[in-house]
């Protein structure tokens, strides 16, 4: 089958230019996974539906499963590279918060896609099995940075605690963002990590932010923290 989809299985889309993006392929794959099942969907079918060759698919993804994890892996690498460049005088938790926020770009209109991705990860055994490995890599990016700052091994008590606490806070932020779909994910991440860094002291909590029906963080009076180091 050519890049333009001029030949291929019956029913394949034709005429799509060869510049199909990673995002377009991901959305097509997610739609097929949802309708036909992850295990029953083949890479050949995804490529045919996109009107591209399988070789084009492999330019963006290594496997079917990587369709769901590539963005996550990119996030981990962004966190690592951002933390590697953080100035030494930036407080540890400010640095972590900055890196996490910098690595995320999801908006309210991305929620349907993210809900589908998480549903597949939760319900497809092969994907669920690999989830722990991916979350561990995310956590380790934080723990290794914390260890460098504290002069300890990443697996020591405090770096490990920081990594796991940050991951838990971010997953809570993600869950609330996904449930409400009323703001950017970064708003929720910033709020959760500010509260974590402050030890959940009362003055760090915007208690009205998550209790106003349909109001969202901004309309409930949430004020983001002052612009930190990563905004330049």
Q: Is residue 122 within 8 Å of residue 128, measured between CB atoms?
A: yes
- Stretches in the chain below the pLDDT threshold 70: 1-19, 206-232
* pLDDT value, residue 17: 45
* pLDDT value, residue 8: 41
Reference 168, options 95, 113, 99, 100; nearest CA is 100
Q: What is the pLDDT of residues 132-159, one digit of tens each?
A: 999 999 999 999 999 999 999 999 999 9
Provide the CB-side half-sphere exposure for 36 (13 A, CA): 14
Q: How far is CA 15 from the centre of its chain?
A: 32
* pLDDT value, residue 19: 55
Cα separation values, 138 from 80, 120, 143, 145, Å: 9, 20, 9, 12
Annotate 101-165 with DSSP letters as a single string. Answer: HHH----GGGHHHHHHHHHHHHH-HHHHHHHHHHHHHHHHHHHHHHHHHHTS-TTSHHHHHHHHH
Both structure tokens of 52: 């591209």
Distance CA 127, CA 40 (A): 14
Is 0.85 surpassed by the pTM of this model? Answer: no
* pLDDT value, residue 206: 62
Structural domains for the chain: 1-64 (1.10.10.60), 66-231 (1.10.357.10)
* pLDDT value, residue 126: 85
């Amino acid at each position: 089958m050519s890049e333009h989809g001029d030949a291929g299985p019956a029913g394949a889309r034709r005429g799509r230019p060869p510049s199909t993006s990673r995002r377009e392929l991901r959305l097509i794959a997610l739609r097929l996974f949802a309708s036909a099942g992850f295990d029953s969907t083949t890479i050949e079918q995804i490529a045919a539906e996109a009107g591209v060759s399988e070789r084009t698919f492999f330019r963006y993804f290594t496997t079917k499963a990587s369709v769901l994890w590539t963005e996550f892996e990119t996030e981990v690498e962004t966190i690592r590279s951002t933390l590697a460049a953080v100035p030494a005088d930036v407080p540890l938790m400010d640095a972590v918060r900055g890196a996490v926020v910098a690595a995320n770009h999801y908006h309210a209109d991305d929620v349907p896609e993210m809900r589908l991705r998480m549903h597949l990860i939760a319900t497809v055994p092969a994907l669920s099995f690999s989830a722990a490995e991916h979350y561990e890599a995310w956590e380790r990016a934080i723990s290794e940075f914390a260890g460098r700052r504290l002069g300890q091994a990443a697996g020591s008590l405090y770096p490990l605690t920081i990594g796991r606490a940050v991951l838990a806070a971010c997953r809570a932020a993600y869950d609330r963002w996904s449930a409400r779909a009323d703001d950017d994910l970064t708003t929720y991440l910033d709020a959760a990590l500010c509260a974590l860094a402050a030890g959940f002291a009362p003055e760090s909590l915007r208690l009205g932010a998550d209790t106003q029906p349909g109001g969202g963080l901004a309309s409930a009076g949430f004020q983001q923290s002052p612009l930190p180091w990563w905004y330049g």
